[in-house]
Amino acid sequence: MSLQRYLVKRLLVTVPVLFGVSLLTFSLVELLPGNVIDFILQFQEATPELRAQLEAQYNLDEPVYVRYWLWLQDAVFFDFGDSVISDRSVSVALAQRLPNTLLLGLLGFIIAVGIGIPLGVISAVKNGELTDEVSRVAALLGIATPNFWLGLMLLLVFSVQLGWFRVIPPDRALLSAPMLKFTILPAITLGTASSALIMRLTRSSMVEQLNKDYVRTARAKGLPERTVILKHVLRNSLISVVTVAALQIAFLVDGAVVVEQVFSWPGVGRLLISAITQRDFPIIQAVVLMIATTIVFANLLADIAYSWLDPRIRY
């Protein structure tokens, strides 16, 4: 099957997947403890009439399947209704935060890959030497360090003590120089754990490849070591790394909740957390659907990358 046909097929498959996700999200939000009306009223006692009026306003007086159907009809056109807490459009709220989250996720990914793969390669090539040991310990630390703590430490050292960065984002456009400068610390915080993961994976995968026959052949035919490592070994090692890296994209975009809190970054993660605590169900549904979409597309990206990295892979 050609890649194009495969892609078309995969894209078609995403439709039922997303449909399933939307159904699941909707049901899970239904199952959350607590009555939405109580949250809208902030637990204030209300007359039955007022409760009934609010229920009608948000279609809560309809059976679940009717509500799902109503929601789905709008959701396919990216209309997720209004927040039950702020009365503002959910799509607008998402659109306001998404660029922030994407920027931070992208920078985090660049750091994760930019540090993880080279370190993994060096570590594998220097297998057993001091450089390898140090890199492995550093990777372990990177994985073990909680995001939250790392972010606060970076803030304390580089913002409060040294004064190199601001603690909160400047009141500037997203792609302006001061804003990009500000994103360095959150991007490092976000990318550290992923880079450690990618480093370890690259290393182990390369160590395995380095013992293969084709490497010996390549060396025997006199190829420079650099070409052997970067062109042959690395490319073959990257298959498994790509799977993880692609999923890390989804993680970096959607898993930035903690980093967004520490760095006061107005992203989707914060929107989701406040929506969950306030049972703002239209926002929860929209954000979870968005996260699911990212994961589906990150997987798709991984599949495309496979065939680019290893032309033998055909679907």
Partner 1 sequence: MSQDDIRERFDLNRRQLVQSLGVAGVAGLAGCAGGGGDTTTTTGGEEDTPTPEDSTPTPASADEVQMGGELIATFGADVANFDPTRANDTTSSKAFGLVYEPLMGTDFSGAPQPVLDRRGEQKDEELAWRATLREGVTFHNGDEMTAEDVKASWERYEGTPREADVYDWYDSSTIVDDYTIDFTLQNKYAPLKFALGGVPIVPKAVADGDIALKDDPIGTGPYVFDEHQPDTLFRIQRNEDYWFTGSDDMPEMPPIETITFRIIVEQSAQLAALQAGDVDMINTVPAASYQDLKDNEDFTVTERTAGGFDLLAFPMAVTPYDNAKVRRGVSRLIPRDAIVESVYQGIGTPATSPISPLAGQFTSPEFNQEMGDKYLGYDTEKAMTLLEEGFNEAGVEKPFQTKIITNENPQRVKWAQLIQESLNSTEYFEIELEQFEWNTYVGKILAEDSNQQNNLIAVGWSAGWDADAYIHNLFYSETFTPACCNIPHYKSEEVDSMIEQGLQTYDLEERKQIYQDLMEKVCEDAPITYIRFGKEMDAFRSDAVKGFQTYPINSGEFNGIYSPSASAFTYVDK
Return the closest-CA partner of residue 60 out of 23, 27, 30. 30
Sole binder of partner 1 in the list 62, 74, 79, 96 (CB under 8 A): 96
Sole binder of partner 1 in the list 63, 277, 311, 312 (CB under 8 A): 277
Residues forming a β-bridge with 89 = 82
**Residue 31 touching partner 1 (CB under 8 A):** no
For the chain, the residue count is 315
Pick between residue 98 and residue 247 the one whose CB is nearest to partner 1: 98
DSSP string, 121-181: HHHHHTTTSHHHHHHHHHHHHHHHS-HHHHHHHHIIIIIIIS--S-SS--SS-TTSHHHHH
Q: Write the CA distances from 26 to 30, 31, 55, 71, 281, integer angstroms.
A: 6, 9, 17, 9, 9
Return the closest-CA partner of residue 146 out of 84, 190, 197. 190
**Residue 53 touching partner 1 (CB under 8 A):** yes
Pick between residue 36 and residue 233 the one whose CB is nearest to partner 1: 36
CA dihedral sign, ordered 25, 78, 291, 57: negative
Question: How many chain residues touch partner 1 (CB under 8 A)?
Answer: 45
CA gap 21, 121 in Å, rounded:
38
Sole binder of partner 1 in the list 262, 283, 288, 296 (CB under 8 A): 262
Residue 163 C-beta: closest distance to partner 1, Å: 7
**Residue 54 touching partner 1 (CB under 8 A):** yes
CA gap 35, 46 in Å, rounded:
13
**Residue 279 touching partner 1 (CB under 8 A):** yes
**Residue 45 touching partner 1 (CB under 8 A):** yes
**Residue 66 touching partner 1 (CB under 8 A):** no
Sole binder of partner 1 in the list 12, 31, 77, 87 (CB under 8 A): 87
Pick between residue 82 and residue 132 the one whose CB is nearest to partner 1: 82
**Residue 237 touching partner 1 (CB under 8 A):** no
Residues forming a β-bridge with 82 = 89
CA gap 148, 49 in Å, rounded:
45
CA dihedral sign, ordered 211, 217, 218, 219: positive
Sole binder of partner 1 in the list 11, 23, 24, 50 (CB under 8 A): 50
CA gap 164, 46 in Å, rounded:
52
Task: Tell me which residues in 145-204 interact with partner 1 (CB under 8 A).
Answer: 152, 155-156, 159-160, 163, 166-169, 171
Pick between residue 87 and residue 213 the one whose CB is nearest to partner 1: 87
Residue 42 C-beta: closest distance to partner 1, Å: 3
Q: Which residues bind partner 1 (CB under 8 A)?
A: 32-34, 40-47, 49-50, 53-54, 85-88, 93, 96-97, 152, 155-156, 159-160, 163, 166-169, 171, 261-264, 266-267, 270-271, 274, 277-279
